[in-house]
């Protein structure tokens, strides 16, 4: 899979985290909160070492991911959504 494809997947996973997490995942979908968080971690682990140009964004994304996971795990949906939105607003699909 190319970096561009993985970035698009990451953006999609983050958008799902904004709209559904942690208690809004429909029962009829194949994705659960735990699966989506695992996908985000996996996608970021793939993307992070491959970024060559936008290295200044890496620390910011790391920080916001940590905030998002911590907030959602603590039941603070608003803080989790804010952290996820901050990542999404970076237009992560355009990172290089």
Q: Which residue has the tokens 């993985």?
A: 6
Q: What is the pLDDT of residues 3-36, one digit of tens each?
A: 999 999 999 999 989 988 777 777 777 778 889 9
How many domains in the chain? 1
Residue span of the structural domain in which 29 resides: 3-94
Q: What is the pLDDT of residues 64-73, one digit of tens each?
A: 999 999 999 9
Residue 49 confidence class, pLDDT cut points 50, 70, 90 = very high
Task: Give the 3-state secondary structure of residue 26.
Answer: coil
Query: Taking the model in full, what pTM does it have?
Result: 0.90
């Amino acid at each position: 899979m190319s970096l561009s494809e993985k970035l698009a997947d990451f953006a999609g996973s983050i958008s799902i985290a904004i709209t559904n997490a942690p208690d809004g995942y429909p029962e009829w979908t194949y994705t659960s909160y735990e699966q989506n968080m695992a996908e985000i971690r996996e996608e970021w682990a793939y993307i992070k070492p491959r970024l060559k140009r936008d290295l200044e964004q890496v620390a910011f994304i790391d920080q916001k991911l940590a905030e998002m996971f911590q907030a959602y795990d603590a039941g603070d949906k608003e803080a989790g959504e804010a952290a996820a939105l901050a990542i999404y607003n970076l237009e992560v699909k355009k990172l290089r």
